[in-house]
Amino acid sequence: MDMTWFEEMEARIPQGEVRTRFAPSPTGYMHVGNLRTALYTWLIARHAGGKFLLRIEDTDQGRLVEGAVDVIYKTLAECHLDHDEGPDVGGPVGPYVQTERRPFYGKYAELLVERGHAYRCFCEKTESEEDTGEFDRAANPCRFLSREESDRRAAAGEPFVIRQRIPEEGTTTFHDEIFGDITVENKTLDDQVLMKRDGLPTYNFANVIDDHLMGITHVVRGSEYLSSAPKYNLLYEGFGWPIPKYVHCSPVMRDQQNKMSKRHGDPSYEDLIAQGYLTDAVLNYVALLGWSPRGEQEIFSLDELKAVFELSGVSKSPAIFDIEKLRYFNASYIRAMSPEAFAALAEPWIRKSVKNPAVDPAAVAALLQQRTEVLTEIPEKVAFFDALPDYDVELFTHKKSKSDAESSRDVLTAVIPLFEALEMWDDEHILDTMVKLAEERGEKNAKVMWPVRIAAAGQAVTPGGAVEICRILGKDETLRRLRLGLEKLS
């Protein structure tokens, strides 16, 4: 076999740097486990000053979803996980889409056959059997065909798959950065299919070829692939290639027994954003699903994660996704934002329910920032600014402020002309008016402010108190609502 082409492929491989890859299949949404894999892969590369690659693994044509590649690009961009090489940016070891690399795999499979680490199998198998390779090795006559017989049947046009030739005896040991050394007996491994009849590689074979040709130094994937790692090792050894560092991450679970699953209603990254979570909060929380930093710090920016992320902190134990913990992170991120940044973020959510252009969304946002955990809470909280809800007079009765229907009627009767006389409509003058009224009546401030807030907002729980609500509503609208409240009480 002429090795010139193989030598040219070897010469393209970058050396002397950490190189990692995120290699999703374009099958729809980005689930939380996928996002964590992308994040850890990015962090390993960035922590070491290396390169982060994006590779699209689309060889399983039956599972492809239209538009899924765009979801991958969009998610990585939103999460600030920039890639140095990929289908959209190019690079020295392209193409970066597996189906565009199709000519490579057959050549490497034939090279493996040449070296005795693979063989052609002419047996009739179903496609599912081809994909899994589950069969009794000793009962497969093709494993024992002579090379001449195999070549003759292939030349005659007989269809075949190419299977890996696993050693019959002995053991295979591989090292994982999380789980340490793992040894398996070769007799427990099947002769997996490397190339299918249609000329496309299986996932396991394409992965090894692409990782080597792209110079990948750290392979990050789910722990469900631990059982395949011995066969990967044997492929690397069959080619005489260096073996990358394996990083197998334990699964993200819904609870102690069940993995997260879209089928069971568990949220994807896109779902979480639609549910009002911030990208930075999601990333921060996802980083801690199976990785523990040193010290007590929990809130990390992406730059901080890049500086402190080490594989020694990754756990062997499955991580349980806790939505309440994510809410805590989200609230922390919201409260840490600048008022201007939060106002810009909150405005579209405020405008979902507050259509009145006279209401300043930035003023409303200022009331919300310390009271919001997820953005989806906002529309319902502030809808009263747009339209006074229909409310029951029972709301005017409040034990703590010692208010009831009668005292509330007296307060509104007194406060309406005072507000009408105000020339300056701002927090200071609104507050001063109500405080003076309370003093004159010999009451605590709350006994005046409670009925004003109920009449202005029409609900018991509001972001902000009577002063802020009246100021945002404006003088005319506040007076209109207070008069309606007085009518209810009369």
CB 465 within 8 A of CB 449: yes
Please report, as a single letter, which amino acid is at residue 354: V
CB 183 within 8 A of CB 191: no
pLDDT, position 222: 94
Could you give the residue ranges of the DSSP H alpha helices within 13-50? 32-47
Q: Which two tokens stand for residue 455?
A: 């009449």
* pLDDT above 70 (res 377): yes
pLDDT, position 262: 73
**Predicted confidence (pLDDT) per residue in 42-53, tens digit:** 999 999 999 999
Q: Which two tokens stand for residue 332?
A: 């922390």
Neighbours of 299 (CB within 10 A): 13
CA distance 465 to 454: 10
- Return the percentage of the chain with pLDDT > 70, whole number: 97
247 φ, ψ to 5°? -130, 95
pLDDT category of residue 242 using cuts at 50, 70 and 90: very high
* pLDDT above 80 (res 446): yes
CA distance 209 to 23: 13
pLDDT, position 136: 63
DSSP 182-196: EEEEGGGS---EEE-
CA distance 326 to 13: 41
**Predicted confidence (pLDDT) per residue in 348-361, tens digit:** 999 999 999 999 99
pLDDT category of residue 133 using cuts at 50, 70 and 90: very low
**Predicted confidence (pLDDT) per residue in 385-441, tens digit:** 999 999 999 999 999 999 999 999 999 999 999 999 999 999 999 999 999 999 999
* pLDDT above 90 (res 64): no
pLDDT category of residue 63 using cuts at 50, 70 and 90: confident
182: left (phi over 0), alpha (psi -120 to 50) or beta: beta
Mean of the per-residue pLDDT values of the chain: 94
161-164 vs 118-121, strand pairing mode: antiparallel
CB 21 within 8 A of CB 54: yes
CB 401 within 8 A of CB 444: yes
Neighbours of 293 (CB within 10 A): 16
pLDDT, position 61: 72
DSSP 91-148: -TT---BGGGGHHHHHHHHHHHHHTTSEEEE-S---HHHHHH--S-GGG-GGGG--HH
218-222 vs 245-249, strand pairing mode: parallel
Least confident among 260-274, 282-296, 334-348, 452-466: 260-274
**Predicted confidence (pLDDT) per residue in 70-98, tens digit:** 999 999 999 999 999 999 999 999 999 99
* pLDDT above 80 (res 145): yes
* pLDDT above 50 (res 130): no
* pLDDT above 60 (res 131): no
CA distance 353 to 102: 52
Neighbours of 11 (CB within 10 A): 7
CB 87 within 8 A of CB 95: yes
Give 90's DSSP letter: B
Give the mean pLDDT of 304-319. 96
Look at the chain and count its residues.
490
Catalytic residue ranges: 262
90: left (phi over 0), alpha (psi -120 to 50) or beta: left
Query: In terms of C-beta density within 10 A (0-12 exposed, 13-18 middle, 19 or more buried), how is residue 170 classed?
Result: exposed
* pLDDT above 90 (res 264): no
Least confident among 19-28, 158-167, 203-212, 343-352: 19-28
Give the mean pLDDT of 231-239. 97
Closest CA to 278 of 256, 259, 301, 308: 301
pLDDT, position 101: 95
pLDDT, position 121: 95
* pLDDT above 90 (res 29): no
Give the mean pLDDT of 116-122. 97
